[in-house]
Amino acid sequence: MEKRRFQTGGLEVSLVGVGCNNFGGRIDEPAAAAVVHTALDEGITHFDTAEMYGNGKSEEFLGRALGNRRDEVVIATKASPRPEGDEFRPGALARRIQEACESSLKRLGTDRIDLYYQHRPDPDAPLDEVLSTMEELVKDGKVLHVACSNYSADLLGQADQVAHDRGTTPFSANQVEWSLLNRNIEAGVAPVAQKLGVAIVPYFPLASGLLTGKYRQGEPFPPGSRLSGGGGHFARILTDENFDYVEKLTTFAESRDHTILELAFAWLAAQDGVPSIIAGATSPEQVRSNAAAASWTLTTDDLAAIPKRP
């Protein structure tokens, strides 16, 4: 498994990371342990979880599954936002982040978090409160690297300026949705992140499964699959336009003796500023497929030939 470093902070991670959002929700602890152990066997060292995944069970399952191999990996987790509807007062977000960190450390059974994210920006709290609180956690040794998730281009620039002005540790990464089917960040977030040296860590690289090859237009979805229930977020991506584009991407990948899943990972791996790609998994087979997909390196000609979205 290829390893890459963050430009800011130098954290080294595997190109493919395991998203643990299914732990404690779609899969139980034995199944989660099987995913973690398979990932370790495949050379994956980056495990991404969050306080809110499985109401804390994701962190618990991950910590116990890693056991005495904890020092071999990078654990990334995220602090949940303040409760909606709570009026902001100075110090409220700081307390939320500090409490979240302590709870995550206990659930993970570790003495430090390698990469700690603010899960979503707080529209009411000043960025100085976020960054100064994260700085305290770094100074205390509880967190090694700090990051943000779902930040806009403007907010990312503002955060970098605040860190520079205050002399605090800057965000080393921004975790955002990015895939061949969702390229919204390319208009603003990606170029700003690249300019600032902030890593982009994509999530939903397979567009909730639409880029796995399991779903074909006009055919029944596999029973129990993520998209089989439809509705909500999934209904928004199950469009004729998306299916038509997926067919073009599938044809392109197959013309080069690869799958669309491999194309999805290879394309993200070819983007500037991407050290690791977060992909959820519910089985060892999915972990192996995701890990293998990272071995395809797209050439300049390949990238130029990928079908453009209408």
Catalytic site residues?
Answer: 53
User: Residue 119 and residue 51: Cα distance in Å, rounded?
Assistant: 9
Cβ–Cβ under 8 Å, residues 198 and 215: no
Q: How far apart are the C-alpha atoms of 185 and 202, rounded to whole Å?
A: 10
Cβ proximity of 214 and 286 under 8 Å: no
Helices and strands, number each (H, E), in the chain: 11, 10
Residues facing residue 118 across a β-bridge: 79, 148
- DSSP secondary structure string for all residues of 257-310: T--HHHHHHHHHHTSTT---EEEE-SSHHHHHHHHHHTTPPPPHHHHHHSPPP-
Q: What are the distances in angstroms from CA 86 to CA 46, 50, 89, 125?
A: 34, 21, 9, 12
Phi-psi region of 224 (alpha: psi -120 to 50; beta: other; left: phi over 0): left
Closest alpha carbon to 148 in 122, 126, 167: 122
- One-letter amino acid at 40 equals L
- Give me 105's structure tokens: 């450390």
